[in-house]
A and B are shown apart, each in its own frame.
Chain A
């Protein structure tokens, strides 16, 4: 069943290429309909999920058995929320209108291809399978940016591909390192997590840890490996930005938990503090640089650097062998919830920035003002997303950040103190952005500004409703994640 969720989109992508050329709406709604299937399957998997410490609904088939590669997929409390978020975001991004450049079939085929890669990655329980999907996501996103992007799209796409390929190859070296230390040799993630083949100390473990950590840090991205992100976001089409921020960045943070924390916890403990410090630098630096932006999309892009910093901070706290287990598992749960929350919140914000670009043909915030009077729905949606992003209680971001910081206080109190600065700066920059774009006098040229269309509404509503639901009643999500966090760190 899970395999259908993974491969149906790519099969549909191939079929889509054979569609008639002049029916863009047909391609669009076919793609949306197809993407509802994985979403349904994942919701079904959620209802079947028992919440145990291990992997459930595992499907496995021999693949390259002679070197220990198996086709193996399954879910647990970490992957399930991410999968649900991923499947939802793909549907919403395809509902959202886009500038298709007369290549509708190819555009939606690329999206569906990318959906297979993204879902496959979070489902994968074999390191090679994981890596295959990791790399395929690069290829899919590269073409989405290069062909349907704007500005200097080719250059940004190339930069994105090159940077993250460096990361993925470092990751591959690390994966090979883990593989060569298993006996009998295997890439089976369940088996590696169970047997813990790598010792906590030693040069080999250290090298493998950092190879993988750099791979995921580039993808996440963590300062100083974030430089590919702003141009890629600014030049990507809005729905692709949503996927890039909402889903692709999570591959990095998910990897930190799944591979580094679960497969080599002893080694992670040794480097938990340094990584926590890098995370805090990302938080503060990301927020400050976002503050300095005049380009709306760059601003949102830099807040992603800041938010991924929160996630890695939570993971590092979860990995440190100091402090109480309760605090550590709280931080790890918070990190996972933050991944979901950020996907929904920032995903929506990128869609909204796409709406603004489609109407105003620029991202420069100085060009706007007073849009609230012309577009109440657009304004309301952006305000909700911005408040959620800056961590207002009652919204999804707060639930996540509260848990991360509460956990961090119990383990590295001074890191939490510095990290909180990030929240203050984020609050300031979002308020300023709202004020610049939506409040104040309306410039003459925007008097004809239109509010959100129906398909934009349809795309945004589910994500924003979920942001509120998670903020108000987070138990259904937090409990699932908690089962996982407790199993990993105890407590």
Chain B
């Protein structure tokens, strides 16, 4: 057992770090607890360093084939760590007066750990464990402002839906275990060959419910707008992003071991993608609450990401497109929610009128993030959509690319409902801003959105070589 520990240094660092934070928080006076944020960043940086080391090493399965250490998983880990670092930056000032400021970081790190494990899971049981760790911390974070009605309600809805989805996924795991005789993905790859196609698709569908919950995809998406609106503002982007990163990578591993039959996972995923993006966009159209709108937009984005899964195994663009999507989505989401945080949680659409006057940087970041979601070049979201649509057309799913195009146009409409008044209308009064940390997060992530779009080559070049185990 001990000989495996070297394989999981990033995970170990996160786990031990989170435990350490709990102890530190217990014995630290509240006025010093902002420093725990810096401590958390140090832990994350260390974990990121170890994950970076793995990028050069060989891909391998470890802990009796239950965890995959491969390029895709480690890239996802790096994305998760960066997202968490930015979340910490958004949180320090926001939670300064919170009685449980120190513990907050421990929960945050456990949440990151859950998503990292999800991205590395190569066994159905590991998947369940990672799902539960990621979900339970998520529920807690969503409801962290326990005196706020919105926050408690968001946590409650998130929890109820999560319990249902996790239970369903567990049921599906049982199904696949019954069909394949094992829970490791390597075992299922041979075990599921020749299984009854109908039973297979039912088992996969049930597991998919759990995955879709983490992705924020149809039909278990309703928590997303509620959490986006009700959760503490710095936590909202974290919850929108980390679940997606972990679950997309696990889903990619899973579908590669499910036999690709006519009535198989590929058409099912394609339909789910189309439904998710369309529903998310239509629901976002007339939202007057910016955070709810962002929530629905996050649902539609989950649909775009599913394009990469549909193309897996049929196009070499699938894996680069998935990673590019995750990076661009994470950066843009942090940028736009960062604006909300910097404006102290301002959420009414009307309050964003004339934002460009007193706050040109925030307005620019909002516009960059939104235009990246639409897929306007040369932003990161464009590179992602280019690769995603190229991948699905390559895989023979041209209709799905057409649906994506129609959806992109619809989405432009509601994003412009925020951007246009921000630039065109006369500004009311300058809004108070939070602090330099969240301001810096906004600027850095918005610049990142531009950067990954303009200089995509090093990233795409690296992603074309990465492995996905078992794949």
Which residue from B382, B408, B456 sits with its C-beta under 8 Å from A165?
B408
Let me know if A158 and B416 touch, CB within 8 A: yes
User: Are B409's CB and A180's CB within 8 A?
Assistant: no
Residues of chain B from 192 to 219 with CB closer than 8 A to chain A in the complex: none
How far is B386's CA from A136's CA once the two chains are assembled, in angstroms? 15
Query: In the bound complex, what is the Cα–Cα distance between A138 and B375 (angstroms)?
Result: 13
B377 touches A131 (CB 8 A): yes
Do the beta carbons of B457 and A66 come within 8 Å of each other?
yes
By beta carbon, the residue of chain B nearest A147 is B424
A425–chain B nearest beta-carbon distance, Å = 34
A135 partner residues in chain B, CB cutoff 8 A: 376-377, 382
- Within 8 Å by CB of B390, from A66, A136, A153, A179, lies A179
B405 close to chain A: CB less than 8 A: yes
> Digit string of B350-382 for contact with A (CB within 8 Å is 1, else 0)?
000000000000000000000100101110001
Given the known A-B contacts A162-B413, A172-B389, A180-B390, are A146 and B461 also in contact in the complex, defined by CB atoms under 8 Å? no
Given contacts A158-B413, A158-B416, A165-B408, contact A136 B377 (CB under 8 A): yes
B412 and A66 contacting across the interface, CB-CB below 8 Å = no
Q: Which residue of B lies closest to A176 (CB)?
A: B390
A176 touches B389 (CB 8 A): yes
Alpha-carbon gap, A466 to B412, bound state (A): 40
Q: Chain A residues near B416: list those with CB within 8 A.
A: 158, 161
Closest to B462 in A: A66
Collect the chain B residues with CB atoms within 8 Å of residue A154's CB. Answer: 420, 424
Tell me which of A57-65, A72-80, A342-350, A448-456 binds B.
A57-65
A-B contact count (CB 8 A): 81
Q: Please give, as numbers and ranges, the residues of chain A lying within 8 Å of B464 by CB-CB distance.
A: 66
| Complex interface: stretch among B106-114, B242-250, B393-401 | B393-401
Chain B hits for A177, CB < 8 A:
393
Say yes or no: is B161 at the interface (Cβ < 8 Å to chain A): no
- Interface positions, chain A 158-186, Cβ under 8 Å from B, are 158, 161-162, 165-166, 169-170, 172-173, 176-177, 179-180
A128 within 8 A of B: yes
Nearest-neighbour CB distance to chain B for A247, whole angstroms, equals: 19
Assess A143 versus B423: contact at CB under 8 Å? Given A158-B413, A169-B409, A176-B393.
yes
Among candidates A65, A136, A139, A169, residue contacting B461 with C-beta atoms closer than 8 Å:
A65
- Proximity bits, B402-425, A CB within 8 Å = 1, else 0: 100100110011001000100110
Once the chains bind, are A64 and B405 in contact (CB under 8 Å)?
no
The reply to whether the CB of A207 lies closer than 8 angstroms to some CB of chain B is yes
Checking A143, A179, A207 against B398 with a beta-carbon cut-off of 8 angstroms, the contacting residue is A207
- Return A392 CB to nearest CB of chain B, in Å: 41
Determine whether the beta carbon of B409 is less than 8 Å from that of A162.
yes
Known: A158-B416, A162-B409. A172 touches B386 (CB 8 A): yes
Beta-carbon nearest neighbor of B385 in chain A = A172
Q: What distance in Å separates the Cβ of B377 from its nearest Cβ neighbour in chain A?
A: 4
A125-165 vs B, CB cutoff 8 Å, 1 = contact: the mask equals 00010011001101100010011000001100110011001
> At the interface, yes or no: B317 with Cβ under 8 Å from chain A?
yes
Contacting B at CB under 8 A, from A339-359, are none
Counting CB contacts under 8 A, is A67 at the interface? yes
Is the Cβ of B413 less than 8 Å from the Cβ of A173?
no
A170 to B423, CA, bound (A): 28
Instruction: Evaluate contact between B405 and A172: CB separation under 8 angstroms.
Output: yes
Q: CA–CA, A67 to B383, complex, Å? A: 11
Residues of B within 8 A of A165 (CB): 374, 408-409, 412
Least Cβ–Cβ distance between B347 and chain A, in angstroms:
22
Whether, in the assembled complex, B61 has its beta carbon less than 8 Å from a beta carbon of chain A, the answer is: no
A160 to B: closest C-beta gap in Å: 11
Report Cα–Cα, A215/B296, bound state, in Å: 28
Say if the beta carbon of B323 comes within 8 Å of chain A. no
Task: Tell me if B46 counts as interface (CB < 8 A to partner A).
Answer: no
Q: What is the distance, in angstroms, from B281's C-beta to the closest C-beta of chain A?
A: 13
In contact, B408 and A173 (Cβ under 8 angstroms) = no
Task: Output the least CB separation between B201 and chain A (Å).
Answer: 29
A66 touches which of B401, B405, B461 (Cβ 8 Å): B461
Contacting residues of chain A (260-280) with chain B, CB-CB under 8 angstroms: none
When the two chains form their complex, are residues A64 and B377 in contact, meaning their CB atoms are under 8 A apart? no
Contact B394 A147 (CB under 8 A): no
Cα A65 to Cα B398 with chains together (Å) = 24
Option from A62, A128, A139 in Cβ contact (under 8 Å) with B371:
A139
Q: Complex: how many Å from CA A337 to CA B126? A: 67
B24 interface hit (Cβ, 8 Å): no
Q: Which of A65, A176, A179 contacts B457 (CB 8 A)?
A: A65
A180, B457: Cβ atoms under 8 Å? no
Are A176 and B412 interface neighbours, CB within 8 A? Answer: no
Cβ A67 vs Cβ B317 within 8 A: yes
Q: Does B460 contact A (CB under 8 A)?
A: yes
Closest CB in chain A relative to B172 CB, distance in Å:
35
Let me know if B442 is at the binding interface, CB within 8 A: no
**Whole-angstrom distance between the Cβ of A213 and the nearest chain B Cβ:** 15
Task: Give which listed residue, B371, B386, B460, contacts A176 with CB less than 8 A.
Answer: B386
Tell me the bound Cα distance from A128 to B420 in angstroms.
27
Residue B116, interface by CB 8 Å: no
CB-based contact A173/B371 at 8 Å:
no
Contacts of A161 in B (CB 8 A): 412, 416
Chain B: residues with CB nearer than 8 A to chain A? 317, 320, 371, 374, 376-378, 382-383, 386-387, 389-390, 393-394, 398, 401-402, 405, 408-409, 412-413, 416, 420, 423-424, 456-457, 460-461, 464
Q: Which 3 A-B pairs have the closest CB atoms?
A: A132-B377, A169-B405, A66-B461
Contacts A63-B457, A132-B377, A176-B390 aside, 17 further interface pairs with beta carbons under 8 A come to A64-B457, A66-B320, A132-B378, A135-B382, A136-B377, A146-B423, A146-B424, A147-B423, A147-B424, A157-B420, A162-B409, A169-B405, A170-B405, A172-B389, A173-B398, A176-B389, A176-B393
A-B contact pairs, 6 of them (CB 8 A): A67-B387, A67-B460, A132-B377, A153-B424, A170-B405, A177-B393
